[in-house]
Amino acid sequence: MNIQKTPIEGLLILTPSIFTDDRGLFFESYNKQLFSSLGLEATFVQDNQSVSHKGVIRGLHLQAPPFAQGKLVRVVVGSVLDVAVDLRKTSPTFGKHFALKLDTKNNSFFWIPEGFAHGFIALENNTVFQYKVTNYYNKDSEMSIRWNDPLLNISWGIESPIVSEKDKQSPLFEDFVSPF
């Protein structure tokens, strides 16, 4: 597995070793021993999956402590632009975001530790997005930031995305009080 650091401390891109032959391909999507050897001592307790139409934005979501979640995300079918926003108040990159394309061509994973808001836009119809999380979902700990916040200035690459009513009502970054 190839590990690539990003400009934001803690965010990692993991690209598995892929084995191909005339039958297709194979790769390990998770190996606890390997992750531990990389210093990722995450214990995953829940797997989540969504299917989205092209142009759907989901996010920017997070859970506050004590239900904060680390996430290991990947695309099973299709492609996304995946985004993580640093919400750690003492971080030199507080309020900055990192974005990358995840798809079934690169089969990469994106590790997003606790302390980040997360969102993505589906770039193809029927995009299947999967993520492993380190803590259980808790409705009372659910938080979000507006996907099109002008201070975050995330370039989603679309004029009129499909966004849930709930995500349209998320607070702006300037009004958001980070619990991290």
Active site residues: 61, 131
Cα separation of the two ends of the chain: 30
Segment 12-21 long-range contacts (CB within 8 Å, at least 24 positions apart): 12/40, 12/110, 12/111, 13/100, 13/108, 13/109, 13/110, 13/111, 14/108, 14/109, 14/110, 14/111, 15/106, 15/107, 15/108, 15/109, 16/107, 16/108, 16/109, 18/107
Distance CA 148, CA 167 (A): 10
Strand partners, 128: 51, 77
CA 29 from chain center: how many Å?
16
